[in-house]
Amino acid sequence: MQGKQSESYIILLSFSVLYFKTVCGCELLGKFNISSLFKQGDIMIGGIFPIFNKEINSTSMFDRDPPEVNLTITYFRFDWRAFRWSQEMIFSIEEINKDPALLPNITLGYRILNSCATPISALRAALTLASGVEEISSTSPCPPAISALIAEAESSQSICYVCGLLKTFLVFFQVSYFSSCACLSDRMKYPTYFRTIPSDYFQAKALAALVKRFGWQWLGVIQSDNDYGRNGIMAFTEEVQKFGVCIAFVGKILRTYNMDKILNVVEMIKQSTVKVILAFVPEGDFYPLMTEIVKQNITGIQWIASESWITAPRPSTPEIYQAFGGTLGFIAKRMTIPNLQSFLTSISPYKDPNAAFVRDFWETVVGCRPVFPGEHDGTQTANTMCTGNETLLNSQHMFFNVTDLRIGYNVYKAVYSIAHALHQLVFCQPVGENTQRPCLNISEIQPNQLQRVNFRTKYGDNLFFDENGDPPAYYDIINWQLINGEVHHVTLGQFVSVTNGDYKLIIQEEDIVWRTGKMVPPSLCSNVCPVGTRKAQIKGKPTCCFDCISCADGTIANSTGLYQKLVCMPCPREYWSNKRRDECVPKTIEFLTYQEPMGIAVTVVSLLGASLSLATMMIFIHYRETPVIKASNSELSCFLLFSLLLCFLCPLTFIGRPTVWTCMLRQTTFGVTFALCISCVLGKTIVVVTAFKATFPGNKVATKFGPAQQRIIVCSCTVIQILICVLWLKLNPPFPDMVFRYSNKKVVLECNPGSEAAFYAVLGYIGLLAIICLVLAFLARKLPDNFNEAKFITFSMLIFCAVWITFIPAYISSPGKFTVAVETFAILSSAFGLLICIFAPKCYIIMIKPEKNTKRHVMGKM
């Protein structure tokens, strides 16, 4: 080791010791750091474990007597689980040293120090390993350099001290077994950092998937006030916000906090309405809060645990279970190491009285303090001193349970990953191939030369590190269950990464023991809105807190749960919402039918008019030789009656569901039949006028306007209307249409005219013929004949024009099927006007007054 570099380490170490003494005020901790488990080897591996945990115990304001006294006690608790991690490291190294295929002819050594679970103590331990000094004042030469480090149990130590400082000097590379902060995946900051526990980036995804699986939207969060808690909750919050989960509160705790801060968090929990709380906290930080929650009997909360405390033995007691039973959480994969148990049971303080931490372990597990000859401690009594006959072979302590190793298995994999990396570096080939002589001198090993490894453990696990130094993501889902009076960590599923980069959550829901029993506990700020309602955000509150408002007409909400929207879904145009606003039902289809009263009335009147027209035609044919019939031009009268028959039948095409053919038929039939009808009336009017003109001497107009000319007038006037209709059908014909503007709850089926210009051209042409008839008939109304048709035609044309003039505004303003009713009313009323005004007087004379049906009477002067 270079002199300048050694001086830098010693200076850093001196400052750390000075700072530690100033802040902590405890010389005893120095013994914990410098005391180490040591074994010489060709390549040295360092280890840092929180074998002693520094904790602060403050009396509660409720417990003080007198109240103004504030008593704070700092103490160090022996953590047998961390001590087992150190022993698992030693076991792994000894197993590797016995393996002829892995690092042959090379012995691994170790030096293991205590971090006391505090960043400053972890810094001192790391600098001690880096410098190699035993004490600050040591004058001994440099001991073997540490090539790799297995540390640390908490992320803060790794971030701020162990990783952040040592990577500057690149003394060794670090493999952590329990530091899971996602921030440690930054290769720019921590280029020599690896770990065998998955990053909290994956744990955040696992916890978010669990929350989403059970529909929890209103959560509380407890985080440790350090890098582990802050980064973990930040990653978790980013994940759950993607599907609308709200964080009600964030409580911050730390093992060194006084009781007042812990009570503030307890009060926060009591006043909140959340029923599910995530605790992203190391066990040492969380335990004081857990005891206070149990003390105040806060129950009914479903707890979600991070991997740092879900399987910790200290809180896994029936007393803590009273408030934390049914806890769910994720932890690293479980593994059994069979040969480890015999190694652990062989630990004894009598083998090496100077072995660090063994006496404390013996006192914790066996229950007595070993005292050796020449030692005397006035505090020891006969009951607390060991006799020397104690053994660990039949001990039932959880320390010896090697069937449920999780973090310990991470330590095991960390040691093997270092061994495989060293093997590939020293022998320039993977483990298992024919090993030749080393290609690199051990003294030439540099930390930045140790790259990623990829190997399979003897227990079937494939271990590799990705580009960020993280292992594959795999978690077991743990559920706290009370079985036979003991708390068991029951595995009920897994969260694993799959080949496409996605993740899969597998969980046996039916086997979960919830805090509330067998039912999944709900956790909502507001109850789920029932169907037919939508969420309405409450101003000033998180998105999970809302009111439920009924959907507006025409919109529905037929789903409930997490993803119910803030707006209701509109129904399609042909549908409308039902009364509950949870389903779109088809709108009422409206059109003029034969079954309804209006349709029946139109049908009856139409058939009545057609029957009267047909009857009148039969009368005219039967009495065609009588003077009245001859005087009224029997041929034109029959044409007129036939056209009126068609006019009366025309409204029947307006009844029933509109189709393409009925829409085209009803408008063209109406236009052509009325054009034929008015053409016949026009012919009759011209005949009357020419007959009057024929009475003047020398006037030959009557001889030029015979039956042929009458037929030409009727046909030519009708053909013009036919041409208009043909163009209408050719260019833009009528078509069935669905009209929604009249009502929100019904759809009116009607015939769209297609071309409104063509529609009004048809009506205009009929109106033009009617006006010509009216003018001619009006001029001939005072002819001297006793039977003068001119006045009847005049009256009929007045009725016809009046009907169709009023039809236009009524047609435009009528809604829905009443539009059809108005048009059929105009057709029928105008047809009846023509039939009655023109033919009723004649039928009256023929049938009622036959004595007037004579030539003399017809030609008589008025």
Do 384 and 354 meet the contact criterion of CB atoms below 8 Å apart?
A: no
- The upper half-sphere exposure of residue 746, i.e. CA atoms within 13 Å in the direction of its Cβ, equals 12
Say yes or no: 176 and 253 in one domain.
no
> Could you report the per-residue pLDDT of 622-652, keeping only the tens digit for each?
887 888 777 777 788 888 889 899 999 989 9
Say yes or no: 8 and 90 in one domain.
yes
Do 92 and 416 meet the contact criterion of CB atoms below 8 Å apart?
A: yes
Strands 276-280 and 218-224: parallel
Say yes or no: 361 and 306 in one domain.
no
> Could you report the per-residue pLDDT of 479-527, keeping only the tens digit for each?
999 999 999 999 999 998 776 668 889 999 999 999 877 789 988 888 8
Say yes or no: 43 and 161 in one domain.
yes
Say yes or no: 574 and 653 in one domain.
no
> Could you report the per-residue pLDDT of 348-405, keeping only the tens digit for each?
888 888 888 898 899 888 888 888 776 665 555 656 788 888 888 888 888 998 888 8
Say yes or no: 37 and 53 in one domain.
yes
- Under the banding of pLDDT at 50, 70 and 90, the label for residue 206 is very high
Instruction: Confirm whether 520 is domain-assigned.
Output: no
H or E segment and range at residue 193: strand 193-195
CA–CA gap between residue 255 and residue 292 (Å, rounded): 13
The CATH number assigned to the domain holding 726 equals 1.20.1070.10
DSSP at 332: P
Say yes or no: 634 and 690 in one domain.
yes
Instruction: Confirm whether 66 is domain-assigned.
Output: yes
CA–CA gap between residue 506 and residue 829 (Å, rounded): 79
Say yes or no: 580 and 695 in one domain.
no
pLDDT at residue 751 is higher than 80: yes
CA–CA gap between residue 654 and residue 824 (Å, rounded): 7
Instruction: Confirm whether 519 is domain-assigned.
Output: no
pTM recorded for the entire structure: 0.62
Do 514 and 326 meet the contact criterion of CB atoms below 8 Å apart?
A: yes
- Residue 134's domain comprises 3-198+351-369+405-464
Say yes or no: 172 and 217 in one domain.
no
DSSP 221-245: EEEESSHHHHHHHHHHHHHHGGGT-
Instruction: Check residues 696 and 680 and name the one with the higher pLDDT.
Output: 680
Closest by CA position to 571, among listed 556, 581, 582: 556
Placement of tokens 């749960």 in the chain:
561
Mean residue pLDDT of the chain comes to 81
> Could you report the per-residue pLDDT of 586-597, keeping only the tens digit for each?
988 888 888 888
Instruction: Confirm whether 383 is domain-assigned.
Output: no
Say yes or no: 820 and 835 in one domain.
yes
Strands 302-305 and 328-331: parallel
Instruction: Check residues 688 and 621 and name the one with the higher pLDDT.
Output: 621
CA–CA gap between residue 275 and residue 285 (Å, rounded): 22
H or E segment and range at residue 609: helix 597-622
CA–CA gap between residue 632 and residue 843 (Å, rounded): 12
> If DSSP codes are grouped into helix, strand and coil, which group holds residue 709?
helix
Say yes or no: 194 and 211 in one domain.
no
pLDDT at residue 681 is higher than 60: yes
Instruction: Confirm whether 36 is domain-assigned.
Output: yes
How many domains does the structure of the chain reveal?
A: 4
DSSP 372-396: -TT---TT--TTTB--S---STT--
Task: Provide the terminal-to-terminal Cα distance of the chain, rounded to the nearest Å.
Answer: 149
Write down the pLDDT at residue 264. 94
Instruction: Confirm whether 187 is domain-assigned.
Output: yes
Peptide bond between residue 152 and the one before it cis (omega within 30 degrees of 0): yes
DSSP 112-166: EEE-TTSHHHHHHHHHHHHH--SSTT--PPP-PPEEEEE--SSHHIIIIIIIHHH
Say yes or no: 182 and 224 in one domain.
no
Instruction: Confirm whether 119 is domain-assigned.
Output: yes
Instruction: Confirm whether 124 is domain-assigned.
Output: yes
pLDDT at residue 29 is higher than 60: no
Average pLDDT over residues 708-719: 85
The CATH number assigned to the domain holding 285 equals 3.40.50.2300
Write down the pLDDT at residue 65. 45
